[in-house]
């Protein structure tokens, strides 16, 4: 699936929820299911600092594609992180670098990306793209 | 008696238009009052009135508007003097807020009178704004910074304070009330002990002025700073009290208009107090509206406000402690209406996000007190802070919200 096909799939999943709580329960569930990172990879190098919660991001190449792994100490952020990984991980650096993320806005979670100081999500998206740009060059 | 009889709560709530709205389909519960309080209509009208009828620059023009603006601006200075119990309006300097007041003292008094090898004492309860200005000064001048530790209840360890005091200490700067925990510090005692070794004392009053009666002369404080927006007034304005003799000895903070007596290219002489510290056109409208905020508090009665808030705190604390896995952070014997807590296994940010969806506004995180959070070995807390317009029913909404949040995150 392309990045946009995955985004559309997530938007469809969220269209089923008519209640904010269902939506958040789904995100919380995704947050809990995300494997996260082993403690030794939660390093200063991988950290993306937010005002309230930290996010750790790791990237490596798998064949032609870029694979992301990430973690957060707050479960809702972790759920959103999990969706970002689902959308972007496993695609070519070019695809990732050129992608436009519209699903967050469409599922009504854009406030989490607007609060730049309170969580590391905005920086995380930026960092994912930076990895993609960097891997395009090697 | 019922719990809400201390003040006429319905009448008070009607004074705050912002409270009458829904968030995510639920009536707003605003419990982030320690960050900033909402504004009564009297304050909003004072701002509106100023811009509609009286706007002019102050202390200069001889026309009617300038006179009116100057009169109202200076009337607030008198109101603040009375509010703080200061001896004279010369001792009241308008600032942009508490942070500005602390930086002013650090940059002027600190730079001039504190030298290499001297010591400054702050406390483990301080907001970053009462840490960083002193750190900057210490780094610049080679001054040593000492910290009064905090005990498990969130109170200052006064025995260690006694040990820290010596002839080397030139300044002590502590908050009157902790923003993160609500602890009321024994500032009168802190000041007296500092004076005994010849140190001056700066009090960060940001969190105290909306809850406590302040009398700077009784406290014998050398400097006392507060922000208007924490006591129902506008943002961007506050005041610094300083003892006249100290203010006179201090060099100016910023250069510019208003703070001068005479300017030539060879030498400038400075204006008298308090104008020496008020360079440039001040925040006139917000200063004018600050008076309306002080009058508003007086119209309810400061003792009644405190009693109402105290009742909410007692009730909230009892209810919160019944939640399994919840631990209060800050259980000082003397505290204002701040309930800071953690729930085992749940990140404060998750609590904040979900409560917001339930229409309940709280603050989560480290509250700009990272060293204090480290002291308690926590990432942050959830903080509910109460003001005069909050109700028992709203506390119930918080408690119900927390039960819901726990279930969602379980």
Q: Does A75 touch chain B (CB under 8 A)?
A: yes
B354 contacts: CB under 8 Å, gap ≥ 6: A24, A76, B401, B404, B405, B408, B409
Q: Which tokens in the block code for residue B394?
A: 């709203």
* Number of domains observed in the structure of chain A: 1
Task: Report A:100-129 residues touching B (Cβ under 8 A).
Answer: 112, 118-119
pLDDT digits (tens, 9 = 90+) for B341-384: 999 999 999 999 999 999 999 999 888 999 999 999 998 999 99
Q: What is the pLDDT of residues B179-198, one digit of tens each?
A: 999 999 999 999 999 999 99
Best of A23, A42, A53, A119 to substitute, by most chain B Cβ atoms within 10 angstroms, is: A53
- Write out the residue range of the structural domain in which residue A128 sits: 3-137
- At A112 the pLDDT is 75
A29 near B CB under 8 A: no
Q: Is B96 helix (H, G, I), strand (E, B) or coil?
A: coil
Residue A117 clears pLDDT 80, i.e. is over it: no
- Specify whether the CB–CB gap between B337 and B309 falls below 8 A: yes
B366 vs A contacts (CB less than 8 Å): 51-52
Residues of chain B neighbouring A112 (CB-CB closer than 8 A): 353
- Choose, out of A75, A80, A120, A121, the residue to mutate when testing the contact with B (most B CBs < 10 Å): A75
The beta strand positions in B102-180, using DSSP E, are 119-123, 144-148, 169-175
B31-85 pLDDT per residue, tens: 999 999 999 999 999 999 999 999 999 988 889 999 999 999 999 999 999 999 9
User: Has residue B1 got a pLDDT over 90?
Assistant: no
CB count within 10 Å of CB B343 equals 21
How confident is the model at residue A51, as a pLDDT?
62
Put simply, whether A25 touches B (Cβ < 8 Å) is yes
* CA–CA distances in Å: residue B401 to residues B42, B92, B393: 32, 43, 12
Selected catalytic residue, list A1, A15, A51, A134: A51
Å from B210 to nearest chain A CA?
A: 27
- Residues A54-66: what's their mean pLDDT? 92
CB-based contact B353:B400 (threshold 8 Å) = no
B141: alpha, beta or left? (left if phi > 0; alpha if psi -120 to 50): alpha
What confidence tier does B2 reach under pLDDT thresholds 50, 70, 90?
A: low
Q: Would an 8 Å CB–CB cutoff place A9 in contact with chain B?
A: no
User: In whole numbers, what is the pLDDT of chain B averaged over residues?
Assistant: 96
Cis peptide before B66 (omega within 30 of 0): no
* Whole-number pLDDT of residue A119: 64
* Chain B residues touching chain A at CB-CB below 8 Å: 24, 347-350, 352-354, 357, 364-366, 379-380, 408-409
Q: In chain B, where are the structural domains located?
A: 9-30+301-409, 44-298
Reduce the DSSP state of residue B334 to 3 states and report it: coil
Q: Is B138 a catalytic residue?
A: no
Q: Which of A24, A25, A75 is facing B347, going by the closest CB pair?
A: A75
pLDDT tens digit string along B304-352? 999 999 999 999 999 999 999 999 999 999 999 999 999 999 999 999 9
- Name the maximum alpha-carbon separation found in chain A: 46
Residues of chain B contacting residue A75, judged by C-beta atoms under 8 Å apart: 347, 350, 409
B352 to chain A: which residues are within 8 Å by CB?
52
Which chain A residues contact residue B409 at CB under 8 A? 28, 75
Which DSSP string corresponds to B8-39?
THHHHHHT-GGGS-EETTEE-EE-BTTT----
Supply the CATH number for residue A95's domain. Answer: 3.90.1010.10
pLDDT at A124: 85
Fold of B9-30+301-409: 3.90.1150
User: Which CATH code fits B44-298?
Assistant: 3.40.640.10
| Total count of residues recorded for chain A | 138
Q: How far apart are CA A68 and CA A49, in angstroms?
A: 17
């Amino acid at each position: 699936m392309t990045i946009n096909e995955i985004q559309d799939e997530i938007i469809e999943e969220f269209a089923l929820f008519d209640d904010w709580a269902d939506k958040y329960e789904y995100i919380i569930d995704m947050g809990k299911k995300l494997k996260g990172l082993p403690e030794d990879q939660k390093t200063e190098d991988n950290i993306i600092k937010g005002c309230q919660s930290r996010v750790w991001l790791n990237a490596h190449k798998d064949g032609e594609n870029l694979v992301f792994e990430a973690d957060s100490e707050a479960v809702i952020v972790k759920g959103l992180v999990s969706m970002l990984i689902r959308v972007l991980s496993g695609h070519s650096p070019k695809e990732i670098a050129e992608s436009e993320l519209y699903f967050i806005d469409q599922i009504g979670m854009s406030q989490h990306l607007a609060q730049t100081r309170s969580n590391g999500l905005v920086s995380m998206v930026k960092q994912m793209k930076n990895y993609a740009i960097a891997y395009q060059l090697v | 008696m019922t719990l809400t009889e201390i003040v006429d709560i319905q009448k008070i709530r009607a004074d705050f238009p912002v409270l009458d709205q829904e968030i995510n389909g639920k009536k707003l519960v605003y419990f982030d009052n320690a960050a900033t309080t909402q504004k009564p209509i009297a304050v909003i009208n004072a701002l509106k009135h100023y811009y509609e009828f009286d706007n002019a620059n102050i202390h200069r023009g001889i026309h009617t508007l300038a006179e009116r603006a100057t009169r109202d601006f200076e009337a607030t200075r008198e109101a603040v003097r009375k509010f703080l119990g200061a001896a004279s309006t010369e001792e009241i300097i308008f600032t942009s807020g508490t942070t500005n007041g602390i930086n002013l003292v650090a940059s002027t008094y600190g730079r001039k009178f504190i030298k290499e090898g001297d010591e400054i004492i702050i406390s483990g309860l301080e907001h970053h704004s009462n840490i960083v200005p002193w750190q900057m000064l210490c780094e610049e001048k080679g001054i040593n910074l000492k910290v009064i530790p905090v005990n498990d209840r969130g109170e200052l360890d006064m025995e260690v304070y006694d040990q820290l005091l010596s002839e080397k200490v030139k300044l002590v700067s502590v908050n009157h009330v902790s923003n993160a925990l609500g602890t009321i510090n024994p500032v009168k005692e802190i000041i007296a002990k500092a004076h005994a070794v010849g140190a001056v004392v700066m009090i960060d009053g940001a969190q105290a002025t909306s809850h406590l009666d302040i009398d700077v002369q009784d406290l014998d404080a050398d400097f006392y700073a507060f922000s208007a927006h924490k006591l129902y007034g506008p943002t961007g304005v506050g005041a610094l009290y300083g003892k006249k003799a100290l203010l006179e000895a201090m060099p100016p903070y910023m250069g510019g208009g208003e703070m001068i007596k005479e300017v030539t290219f060879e030498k400038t002489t400075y204006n008298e107090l308090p104008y020496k510290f008020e360079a440039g056109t001040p925040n006139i409208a917000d200063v004018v509206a600050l008076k309306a905020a002080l009058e508003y508090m007086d119209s309810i009665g400061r003792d009644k406000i405190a009693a109402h808030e105290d009742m909410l705190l007692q009730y909230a604390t009892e209810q919160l402690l019944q939640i399994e896995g919840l631990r209060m952070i800050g259980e000082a014997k003397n505290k204002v209406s701040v309930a800071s807590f953690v729930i085992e296994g749940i990140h404060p940010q998750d609590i904040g996000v979900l409560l917001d969806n339930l229409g309940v506004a709280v603050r989560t995180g480290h509250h700009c007190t990272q060293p204090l959070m480290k002291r308690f070995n926590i990432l942050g807390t959830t903080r509910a802070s109460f003001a005069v317009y909050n109700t028992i029913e709203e506390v119930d909404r918080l408690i119900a919200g927390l039960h819901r949040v726990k279930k969602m995150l379980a």
